Copies of this chain bind each other. A is one copy, B any other.
Amino acid sequence: MENAEWNRDELLKQSTDLILEYLEQKKYFMARDELMKYNAADIAEMLEEVSDEASLRMTVILFRLLPKDVSVDVFSYMSSDGQVDIVSEITDKETQFIVDELDFDDKIDILEELPANLVNRILEKTPRSERHLINTFLNYPDNSAGSLMTPEFVSLKKDWTVREAMEHIKEVGTDAETIYTCYVRDNAWKLIGIVPLSTLVVTNSDTKINEVMRTEFVCEYVDTDQEEVSDDFQKYDLIAIPVVDKEYRLVGIITVDDILDVMEDEATEDIERMNGVIDLDNSDSDYLDISVIQHAKNRLPWLLVLMIAYIFTGMIVTNFENALSSMIALVTYMPMLMGTGGNCGSQAATLIIRGLATGEVELDDWMRIMWKELRIGVVVGVVLSAVNFLRVTIIDGQSAIVAVTVCTSLLFIVMIAKLIGSMIPLIVKGIHLDPALVANPAISSVSDAIALSIYFVMAGLFLHV
């Protein structure tokens, strides 16, 4: 396998094609053997490809041919849609086996996706103590630290020696999600310290745990939003973080691999919101798995709100109908003025929304931001107006006074759009809403209305229409 790394994607694709061929010829075991050359994450990807290219039935056949322990691992790497598909085709007993064997946090994830009656049947056969724990975990709100954590961590006592601690880790190690950070609790389960495994490894065996544990550490409360958790991972360079309840009792840990997924999901959510798509059913489903109706529902709210905004834009135009009909050439520049205003506004809004999300700018910075955008607006506006002056006079052959009208309007529109685009996200943040929700479409439509108003005022001033 060694050289496989060079072109892993290419190799995966070739093997997938080979497997599809085997499947077509009903050479199931050869397909299985080809699959088994890869690790669980790759096999999961290839099985999902088989579902897409051949059929779900073929995927299930292959899945059943995998050794039991491999199949559980592969299952844990599949997308939640892929997991639900597999479960829909296998028996309850097989599902029960997989769920029992999964790591605790993967177990919770799949139980959340499965239909309620199946979850009940599975829980019936789960030992009572674990059933209780599962139910507790299923009740943590989506996107909270509680929903991300696993109860599988290594817990040490403060009066143990490093040697005792290492022996304990050797015993329980394989059941823990990670053993790289160990946690020290007092008798009331309160978290009192953490010890990285690296410290244990380099420390003398007779040292007591309370001499090496760190009593200052970052931890999260079960209700904390996942975005804050991910910010802390980034700020403090962590690979795991403890989660405590209101009484400061350690209830679980979150590992960094789950945070990578959180970061991707949060970025996707921001990007979609900024462009007027609201994920109404809050699913992490893939684009192609979301139904047409759900897609339409996610997109319609903003479009309908803006529809109302355009009533005002329409009114502005109507008010100006006489002037326009007396000089119809003015209509020619409407799309350019509105479009440029919208784009300038959304550029500024994008930088501020992202800056707020990454902590680059804060509400207190509003004066500095305003001053900066004002100057940027002047520079950008002057350049665009100059270019535009040439277009209006040379390409369109209009008179200088028309060009002056259009270009003066453009300058003011750019400046005001930059100011509005940068200030609206700050105001929205100020009233504790997500700035990404004041999507670019909204900023565009506000700047459309302003662009038209400025244009018509300028036309009145310069052209006396």
For A328, give its contact among B311, B325, B347, B349 (CB under 8 Å).
B325
Distance to closest chain B CB from A265 (angstroms): 9
Do most interface residues of chain A lie in helix, strand or loop, or is the interface mixed? helix
How many copies of this kind of chain does the complex include? 2
Query: Closest approach, in angstroms, between the C-beta of A196 and any C-beta of chain B?
Result: 9
Q: A292-B372, A346-B276 are in contact. Are A256 and B239 (CB under 8 A)?
A: yes
A168 CB to closest chain B CB (Å) equals: 11
A350 CB-CB contact with B under 8 Å: yes
Stretch from A27-35, A56-64, A85-93, A387-395 forming part of the interface with B: A387-395
Tell me, yes or no, whether A379 is within 8 Å of chain B by CB: yes
Measured between beta carbons, the chain B residues less than 8 angstroms from A340 are 303, 306-307, 310
**Contact residues in B for A45 (Cβ distance below 8 Å):** 235
On chain A, which size bracket covers the interface? 35 or more
- B347–A276 CB distance below 8 A: yes
Segment 305-355 of A: residues with Cβ below 8 Å from B: 306-307, 310-311, 313-314, 317-318, 321, 324-325, 328-329, 331-336, 338-340, 342-344, 346-347, 349-352, 354-355
Task: Report how far A349 CA is from B287 CA in the complex, Å.
Answer: 12
Chain B positions within 8 Å of A292 at CB level:
372, 375-376, 379
From B192, B236, B307, B448, A41 is in contact (CB under 8 Å) with B236
Interface-central residue, A275, A328, A336, by most chain B CB under 10 Å: A275
Instruction: Please state if A334 and B317 are interface contacts (CB–CB under 8 Å).
Output: yes
Contact A339/B360 with A169-B202, A239-B256, A300-B383 known, Cβ cut-off 8 Å: no
Q: Lowest 5 CB-CB distances: which A-B pairs, in order?
A: A310-B336, A267-B267, A275-B350, A237-B257, A296-B379
- Starting from the known contacts A169-B202, A271-B350, A275-B346, 18 additional A-B residue pairs (CB-CB under 8 Å) come to A166-B201, A173-B198, A230-B260, A237-B257, A256-B260, A260-B260, A271-B274, A275-B347, A276-B347, A292-B379, A296-B379, A299-B376, A302-B347, A303-B340, A310-B336, A311-B395, A317-B335, A335-B452
